[in-house]
Structure 1
Amino acid sequence: MADENKDERYELQLIEENSLDNWLRYYWYKQSAEGKVCVLRRSVRALPRSYKLWCLYLDHLVEVVGPLCPVQYSEEYGKVCKEFELCLRLLNKLPLIWVRYLEFAMSMAEVTWIRRLFNRALRTLPLTQHHLIWPVFLRFADEVGGLTGGLIYHRYYTYDPSQLELVVEKLQAFKQLSLAAPLFETLINDDSYVSNLGKSPLDLWLEYFSLLTETSTQAKVDQIVSFALVKFPDQQGKLFVQWAMYYIKLRDYTRASIIFEDALKQVSTIKDFTMIYDSFAQFQDKRLSKLVASDDSDPQELDYRIACFEKLMDSRENLLDDVKIRQDVNNVDNWLHKASLTTDLRSKIQIYVDALTKIDPQRATSGLSKIWISYATIYEENNDLETAKTILDKAVKVKFNSPDELSEVWIHWSELELSQDDLPMAIKVMEVATRLNPKIPQLWGFYLDLVESTSDVEATCAIYEQLFTNKMATPLHVINYANFLEENKFFERALSVYAKGVTLFKYPVVFEIWNIYLTKAIQRQLSLERMRDLFDQSLDACPEAKDLYVLYSKYEEENGSIQRSLKIINNSLENVKGWDDKLALFKLAIQLCRDKFGVPTTREWFTKAVESLPPSKCIEVVIEFAKFETSLHELARARHILQHGAMLQSVDKSKDLWEYWNDLEITNGDKQTFKEMLQWKRRATDEFGLSRETKGFINDGRVNENKPEDEQAQQSVENPDAIDIYI
């Protein structure tokens, strides 16, 4: 009775005012689902254009029938659909109502009716609201699949062309290949298209090709592959293999073999060649295996297949050379290697002809002359000398990249004449070669060898003089020219050649010529004044050449001028740069003093050497100095010198000095002197362990450790512990 009174209250409110709020309060008051549905059914009829009430009402209806089987309770489902239809008569422009209706309808088994319902929704709603319908429609398409699903997705493409890839993928999944093929072709022909699924253009094309093999004619497949080979030149191997596999699936083995063979002649990368060759070999191997396993195979066909397979195996290296040549037609080594693989004379000649026809001499790698020479050699070996000379005559007109290659052709031509014992003609060839190419040293060298072999002195000299005139002479030419004149007893002319040669070059190149020139002049016993003049000229040209100073010094010594000899060495120390050279000169001067001048002068030079040389070179002189004093029984002096040397370098770097000092004390010293030696050794160890690596002779060698040793030897500060070397 209480519930009826409350219902009556809500009913009276509705009588007073048929408003949305009153109906909602009434709806909220009801507790049971049936009560709520009843109130909502009355409300939508009382307020038929209330979107909110219709949504609540329809949602409740769907919630009530949702758990029920749509087939068994089709009548209940039909009632809900009628309510949806009633709502849409009044609110047909509201897309969310359509979405609710369509989602509810999808739970039913009426595919045709559902599809038409979707069509109604799309026709009724404006285009700007279709984006709310299509997600549900596509979900429906995914559920039904097949032709219906394919048509829905095909229609979706017209709504949103940006989803072309998705549409094509779905059409393939639904096996609607005839619908997918035209759209896929549109996709791959769009060069600006970027895959939404992260696929490369090649991936898309391969999918399209796979689709074509199931839907299109052979002519269409061939056309598309030909287009792809141009569009994807870096993927030719994969494309050719896919093309051949298509015909293998059709059991058109002849066409597949033709594709493989054409591919091997077209690809230009090793990767593509390897892929195609391996696939072709595998294809032939499988065909051969089937024939062998078959009991009724034709013996002739079996022999033919075996021959084809062996031919393919044998041709691999030759085919690979063709690929390398296509990669770079101007690579000479590839052509030469290809020619080396064949023993057939005609094939080899054709290879050389192709090479010389296709190679651009200005872009060719080194060795183009070898092709010309090898080409001519074929005819030489077959005694067709006229043809060989014709080829060489063409070759010498080629603009080779390198003059060395041109010289090789000319020299080979001359050697060809020599092989026929025609020395005059060989010389004539080189005469023409040097006249046309006066700046190629190899031609002049071979020309000289030929002319010298004739023993014609004047002709040989004329060629050498031509080299001087053309400024083509090298130091070796100067030396060879002079030796040639000496061998023919023209000694003065030989010396004049050296005199001319030393004017052509600068130090250090000219040093060797001066060295030989001065040696030869001494042997010829030129006058003292003339020799001194030559030596002075040589030292002006080669101021750093130690060997020339040594040679000059010995010459003066041998001619009785000991003072000049020592003066030359003294002067050399100012010009010679290397410390090894300076050390050698000091040794020479010291030995000269010991032999010719006596103790005081020798001590001066020892002292000068120790003061001038860096520690690493000085230790050797210190030891020799100490030995010199020991030989004079000046042991105190020797010990002072060794004490000085001990402080030049670390103990590890002066092992020879300490070994000599140790032997000196054992032989000539006593307990006290040996103890002093050990004290100096400890002092040196402590000194270098705490501070520096090197010390000067008179001054403390506190120097910049980052500077070279040569500079360190010249930088010093005053050292109060320095010994007085002039004892």
Structure 2
Amino acid sequence: MPQLVDSSRPNSATVPFSASILKPRTSSLASVTSGNWSGPWTFPISSPPATAQRANPRSPNSPMCPRTSLISSEAPFSNRFIIYERALKALPGSYKLWHAYLRGRLEIVRNLPVTHPKYDTLNNTFERALVTMHKMPRIWIMYLQTLTEQKLITRTRRTFDRALCALPVTQHDRIWEPYLVFVSQKGIPIETSLRVYRRYLKYDPSHIEDFIEFLLNSSKTKHRLWLELCDLLTTHAPEVSGLNVDAIIRGGIRRFTDEVGRLWTSLADYYIRRSLFEKARDIFEEGMTTVVTVRDFSVIFDAYSQFEESVIAHKMESLDLSDEEEEDIQEEAIEEDEDIRLDVDLCKSKHKFERKIFKGFWLHDDKDKDLRLARLEHLMNRRPELANSVLLRQNPHNVEQWHRRVKIFEGSPTKEILTYTEAVRTVDPMKAVGKPHTLWVAFAKLYENHKDIANARVIFDKAVQVNYKTGSSG
């Protein structure tokens, strides 16, 4: 039996083993056939067929080998596109191929508008990649980032949900981070953001403070929206003169029962910007006499007082300028020898004529500084009365507030009598907060202190006829 020699051994004199057809040497064929062969077996080398090289994707010469077949990155992408598609068709599960291919497509659309058709092609390519790369978080993140840039809200949200379903929970933190950035952008519906944040808190409850901060920064109440609308209307008062701004803002005032001070001041500011100062004063007065909270009253009163102060300051400046003009006119009148009515310049003549003729008349006098100061002083003196009226609008049956109102008018018997009369007519003993009989007693003592005993008896006679609550007088 002839002995075979392993050609793969390094000390063998033969060449390495080949996968080609094994053939013994022709000269020794007869000896082998006759059984007299005693030498080692040797085989010739033959290269593999060219078809085998093309069929083997691991071959360096194979067009499907990514290491040798992809052309230079400086080449046009249209040329690389064909090679990428051929390689991915042969190796659809290659992460490196898909990653390089997608990065190349992202570079193409980097400087294009998001409405360009190439973005649709890019999105379709990502969808193809996720067929086999759905367990690769980096591919998901690349896709989600480009969808976020395209402002495709619904598609982006659904793709985020798909990524969370496809990836294991240990990799969800890589998806949640861009997900929260996405829902925090402007233009995302608040309901969508709230739902996503609630789901995130189930995944990581330690970020509850981030959720609270998001709510504080993003949520807007109807009252806040009305304030923004009022600010917009008042800031652009000349441009919106065609709108019924008064009706719009009053609609917001009727909608809310409190925190309407800003709305009243916005309406007054609208008329101030249109130089309708008397109308603005009417709005301030109406607001102060209709609000039901001290906070709203303070907002309106402060705005009203600041408005009056600014008007006085502006008037003082204008008076200084007018005084200088009068001095100039007097100097010109002394120097001029001709009659003012014979002035050639008719415009200047008319103006000077009016200044001379109407000077000193009250209707033409614009020096109403004292009147404006008196108006501001009157406003400040009315503050306690107006503030008390706000509290009585909250509860007109508060006996203590009526007593405080009478003290405001101390020293004015007429106003005290009118206040007591209004108090005993308004306060319902069954709903009163405090002791309603004290109003009648104080009312009668007021007449008694002014030596009017007859009216004091009349007040007591009416007081005993009132139906009080049982035990309220004790």
* TM-score normalised by the chain length of structure 1: 0.35
Q: Are 1:247 and 1:256, in contact at CA under 8 Å, matched by a contact in 2?
A: yes
- Which residue of structure 1 aligns with residue 439 of structure 2? 371
Q: Aligned AA for 2:110? A: S
Distance 2:272 2:189 in 1: 26
Query: Counterpart of 1:28 in structure 2: which amino acid?
Result: R
Pair 382,9 (structure 1): closer, same or farther in 2 beyond 3 Å: farther
1:115 positional shift: 1.7
- 2:420 aligned to which of 336, 352, 358: 352
* Change in 2 beyond 3 A, CA 1:164/1:210: farther
- 1:47 Cα deviation (Å)? 7.0
Whole-angstrom CA distance in 2 between matches of 1:364 and 1:168 = 52
Determine whether 1:391 maps to 2:415: no
In structure 2, the partner of 1:339 is: 406
Alignment CA distance shift 1:327-1:140 (3 Å) = same
- Structure 2 regions of 5+ residues with no counterpart? 1-46, 131-140, 161-181, 191-213, 324-364
Confirm whether residue 166 of structure 1 aligns to residue 186 of structure 2.
yes
After superposition, residues 550-629 of structure 1 pair within 5 angstroms as: none
Aligned partner of 1:27 among 51, 60, 66? 66
- SS of the residue corresponding to residue 278 of structure 1 reads helix
In structure 2, C-alpha distance between the alignment counterparts of 1:163 and 1:220, rounded to whole Å: 37
What aligned pairs does 1:387-536 form with structure 2 within 5 A after superposition?
A: 388-401=456-469, 405=473
Kindly tell me: are residues 39 and 46 of structure 1, through their superposed partners in 2, closer, same or farther at Cα, counting changes over 3 Å? same
Relative contact order: is structure 1 or structure 2 higher (C-alpha 8 Å, sep ≥ 6)? 2
Give the counterpart letter for 1:393 in structure 2. Answer: D
Letter in 2 for 1:334: Q
Q: 2:283 aligns with which of 259, 273, 281?
A: 259
Matching residue of 2:312? 288
Deviation (angstroms), 1:312: 0.7
What whole-Å deviation, never above 9, does each CA across 1:530-580 have from its counterpart, x for those lacking one? xxxxxxxxxxxxxxxxxxxxxxxxxxxxxxxxxxxxxxxxxxxxxxxxxxx
- The equivalent of 2:395 in structure 1 is 328
Matched, 1:299 2:366: yes
- Residues 1:196 and 1:285: Cα distance change in structure 2 (over 3 Å): closer
Residue identity (%): 21
- Give the CA RMSD over aligned residues: 5.4
- The question of 1:270 aligning with 2:294 is answered yes
| Shift in CA distance, 247/55, structure 1 to aligned 2, threshold 3 Å | farther
Residue 59 (structure 1) shift: 6.4
1:117 partnered with 2:121: no
> Distance between the aligned counterparts of 2:401 and 2:49, measured in 1?
102
Q: Is the 8 A contact 2:253 2:260 kept in 1?
A: yes
Distance of aligned partners of 1:386 and 1:213 in 2 relative to their CA distance in 1, 3 Å threshold: same
Q: Is the 8 A contact 2:59 2:65 kept in 1?
A: no
Asked if the contact 1:330–1:363 (Cα under 8 Å) also holds between the matched residues in 2, the reply is yes
Conserved in 2, the CA contact under 8 Å of 1:27 and 1:39?
no
Query: Match for 1:276: what amino acid?
Result: I
Rate the CA distance shift 1:283–1:53 in 2: closer, same or farther, 3 A. Answer: same
1:395 Cα deviation (Å)?
1.1
CA distance in 2, matches of 1:57, 1:247: 68
Asked whether 1:139 is paired with 2:149, we answer yes
Structure 1 residues 117 and 404, CA, compared in 2 at 3 Å: closer, same or farther?
A: closer
**1:237 equivalenced with 2:261 (yes/no):** yes
Aligned partner letter, 2:369? L
User: Which string of whole-angstrom CA distances, capped at 9 and with x for unpartnered residues, describes residues 61-82 of structure 1?
Assistant: 787xxxxxxxxxxxxxxxxxxx
> Structure 2 vs 1, CA of residues 299 and 115 (structure 1 numbering), >3 Å: closer, same or farther?
same
Amino acid at match of 1:33: S
- Does structure 2 conserve the Cα–Cα contact (< 8 Å) formed by 1:260 and 1:280? yes
In the other structure, the counterpart of 1:309 is 376
Q: Please say if residues 268 and 327 of structure 1, whose CA atoms lie closer than 8 Å, have aligned partners that are also in contact.
A: yes
Deviation of 1:326 (Å): 2.2
Specify whether residues 122 and 16 from structure 1 end up closer, same or farther in structure 2 by C-alpha distance, changes over 3 A only.
closer
Q: Structure 1 residue 318 and structure 2 residue 385: aligned?
A: yes
Distance 1:349 1:10 in 2: 124
1:213/1:270 CA distance change after superposition, 3 Å: closer
What does the per-residue CA deviation read over 1:443-487, in whole Å, with 9 as the maximum and x for residues that have no partner? xxxxxxxxxxxxxxxxxxxxxxxxxxxxxxxxxxxxxxxxxxxxx
1:404-428 deviation per Cα after TM superposition (whole angstroms, max 9, x unaligned):
84xxxxxxxxxxxxxxxxxxxxxxx
1:166 alignment partner, SS class: coil
Write the letter of the residue equivalent to 1:117: P
Residue identity in the other structure for 2:366: P
Distance 1:365 1:34 in 2: 87
Task: Give the structure with the higher percent helix.
Answer: 1
Residues matched between the structures, number: 323
What is the alpha-carbon distance in structure 2 between the residues aligned to residue 233 and residue 313 of structure 1? 26
Cα deviation for residue 351 of structure 1 reads: 1.8
Given that residues 281 and 312 in structure 1 are in contact (C-alpha distance below 8 angstroms), is that contact kept between their aligned partners in structure 2? yes
Q: What does 1:594-673 correspond to in 2, within 5 Å?
A: none
Cα distance 1:351–1:28, how it changes in 2: closer, same or farther (>3 A)?
same
| C-alpha displacement of 1:316 | 1.1
Question: What is the deviation of 1:267?
Answer: 2.7
CA distance, structure 2, for counterparts of residue 104 and residue 301 of structure 1? 72
Answer whether contact 1:27 1:40 (CA < 8 A) is retained: no
User: Per-residue deviation at 1:289?
Assistant: 0.9
AA aligned to 2:300 is I
Q: CA 1:360–1:60 in 2, change beyond 3 Å: closer, same or farther?
A: same
Deviation at 1:291, TM superposition (A): 0.9
Asked if 2 retains the 8 angstrom alpha-carbon contact of 1:331 and 1:364, the reply is yes
Indicate conservation of the 8 Å contact 1:240/1:259, yes or no: yes
Deviation at 1:292, TM superposition (A): 0.9
Deviations 1:491-515 (CA, angstroms, capped at 9, x unpaired): xxxxxxxxxxxxxxxxxxxxxxxxx
Q: Is the 8 A contact 1:240 1:276 kept in 2?
A: yes
**Counterpart contact for 1:244–1:257, Cα < 8 Å:** yes
TM-score (norm 2): 0.51
1:104 to 97, 104, 107: 107
Residues 38 and 211 (structure 1), Cα distance of their counterparts in 2 relative to 1, 3 Å cut = closer
**Aligned CA distance change for structure 1 residues 38 and 372 (closer, same or farther; 3 Å):** closer
- Find the aligned partners of 1:249 and 1:10 in 2 and give their Cα distance: 93
- Which residue matches 1:585? none
1:240 touches 1:263 (CA, 8 Å); kept in 2? yes
Alpha-carbon distance in structure 2 between the residues aligned to 1:230 and 1:315: 26
Residues 59 and 284 (structure 1), Cα distance of their counterparts in 2 relative to 1, 3 Å cut: same
Matched residue SS, 1:288: helix
**Bigger Cα Rg:** 1
C-alpha spacing 1:236/1:54, structure 2 compared with 1 (3 Å):
same
**Displacement, 1:320?**
1.8
CA 9–399 in structure 1, closer or farther in 2 if over 3 Å, else same: farther
Give the 5 Å matches for 1:680-691: none
Question: In 2, Cα distance between the equivalents of 1:308 and 1:11?
Answer: 108
8 Å CA contact retained: 2:397, 2:431 = yes
From the superposition, tell whether residues 300 and 35 of structure 1 become closer, same or farther in structure 2 (CA, over 3 Å): closer
Q: Equivalents in 1 of 2:244, 2:185: separation in Å?
A: 21
Judge conservation of contact 1:44–1:50 (CA < 8 Å) in 2.
no
The residue that corresponds to 1:446 in the other structure is none
Give unpaired runs (5+ residues) of structure 1.
1-7, 64-99, 142-151, 171-193, 406-439, 441-727
Determine if contact 2:289/2:389 at 8 Å carries over to the other structure.
yes
Residue identity matched to 1:392: F
